[in-house]
Amino acid sequence: MQEDVKLMSDIGLEAYRFSISWSRLLPNGRGAVNPKGLEYYNNLIDELVNHGIQPHVTLYHLDLPQILEDEYGSWLSPKIVEDFTAYADVCFREFGDRVTHWTTLNEPNILAISSYDTHIFPPEQCAKANCVPGNTSVEPYIAMRYSLLAHASAAALYREKYQVSTSSLPSYVETSPIFLPMCIPSDWNLESAMTSECCNAGPEERVVDPVVFGDYPKIMKKNAGSRIPSFTKEESKLVKGSADFIGLNHYFTIYIKDNSNNPATGVPDYNADMAIELSATKDPAAATSIWFTEFVPFLILNKLLKMTILSGSGGPQDETLNDTARIDYLTAYIGSTLDGLRNGANVKGYFLWSFMDGFEFLSGYQMKYGIVHVNFNNKELKRQFKSSALWYSNFINKIEGILKMNKRNESSGRMRKIWHFSN
């Protein structure tokens, strides 16, 4: 642990995002705290703080205590709301004196669809023959409902019991991937985007709209009808405004367009209810890609107004030490994120995925996304900087210098410069 945090400090990281394992801290899902788990997280947080690195903590990242699944079906039961809130209470109480930036759930939209429709994540339930028997017509919506209520309940607890200043951020909802309406032209503006009907069909809005407006998108309720369990007035009030900022995991972009005139056949499910066509590019024949330049201003200005975005991105997997492809990716991605900033996006932070090679849920240790290489064939799991780590460190140091210069200019009455990134 000490070695890894020292590497973070050597690179120049100002913040580090990690998740706490519910099962590790509370093996029975509730009740007695595991002292070894508590000691580990206290040591990690202390080490980060001692190196001047701000801890950003995620409470849930697909590691549910098995006993809660066996006892009542986890995210399909209202009991999960109470148990998650109690778990969050333990974390806030034990770590809140050093942690002020909290994430409740990582990608609740993915939790709903991948656990109860596409059967990628546990409990792998769906209506198909090759998975645990389930009801894909309703279970994804039930799971989404209780995950949103669990998030909102934990956020309310934090604000009432633990929040000490406006700099403390209780929680946010995170979505991935990014879906952008195909109807938006390359020279789109805010006015045209807000008046376009096809801009209201994005799948990420299923979990974003409730925390902003207190209810699901109209198009979602229209397509799924009574299969969506509605929020009560009290629940809507609890969920609305329960996120101080929205976090985005952006791995890739999918363009969408309305397909409601061609309803899907077969068993209605979460995917079919979207009634959209998917495309990797605006023009399927063109090998184009998209960054935050288009999406961030659209989402912020059209849906979330002034709500802060905390952006994170993936990148090419590369285990070689001279990982030039990742450097090219980061150069383009961060540059486009800064373009979004200039266009009005309220981006307050950027997390790189990932700090070092690690365990990927669907591919184990085969995919190497880190800027720090880990030798998994070595008992000591030796760490070594990749070229991208050196590039990233140099970039951070340059930005720090520019920001300090801007502050000096502001204090001296000079015109504030907009910091930027170039090759």
Residues 88-110 have pLDDT tens digits of 999 999 999 999 989 999 888 88
In a domain, 279, yes or no: no
- Asked if residue 372 lies in contact with residue 412, where contact means CB atoms within 8 angstroms, the answer is no
Three-point CA angle 404, 332, 392, nearest 5°: 50
Q: What is the pLDDT of residues 159-211, one digit of tens each?
A: 999 987 655 666 665 555 455 555 554 444 444 444 444 554 455 677 888 88
Using one digit for the tens of pLDDT, what is the confidence trace for 55-76? 999 999 989 999 999 999 999 9
Identify the helix (H) or strand (E) that includes residue 56.
strand 54-60
What is the count of structural domains for the chain? 1
Identify the CA nearest to 350 among candidates 44, 77, 15, 125. Answer: 15
Taking residues 291-301, what's their average pLDDT?
48
User: Could you tell me if 372 and 386 are in contact, meaning their C-beta atoms sit under 8 angstroms apart?
Assistant: yes
Give the pLDDT score at 222.
Answer: 81
DSSP for residue 52? T
- Domain contains 278: no
222 in Cβ contact with 206 (< 8 Å) = no
Residue 312's pLDDT is: 60
Tell whether 259 is covered by a domain: no
- Report residue 243: phi and psi, to 5°: -115, 125
pTM for the model: 0.84
- Of the pLDDT bands very low, low, confident and very high (cuts 50, 70, 90), residue 414 is very low
Look up 107 and say whether it is catalytic.
yes
pLDDT computed for residue 220 by the predictor = 80
DSSP-assigned beta bridge partners for residue 178: 253
CA dihedral 335, 374, 250, 208 (to 10 degrees): -130
Check pLDDT > 60 for residue 415: no
Domain that holds residue 330: 323-423
Beta 347-352 vs 276-279: how paired, if at all? Answer: unpaired
Measured CA angle at 62 (ends 56, 66), to 5 deg:
125
Of how many residues is the chain composed? 423
The single-letter DSSP state of residue 23 is H
Could you give the CA distance from residue 13 to residue 10 in angstroms, rounded to a whole number?
8
Beta bridge partners of 347: 309
Q: Is residue 377 part of a domain?
A: yes
The verdict on residue 370 lying in a domain is yes
Indicate whether 262 pLDDT > 80.
Answer: no
Q: Is residue 374 part of a domain?
A: yes
Which tokens belong to 341?
């900033």
47, 107, 204, 235: which is the annotated catalytic residue? Answer: 107
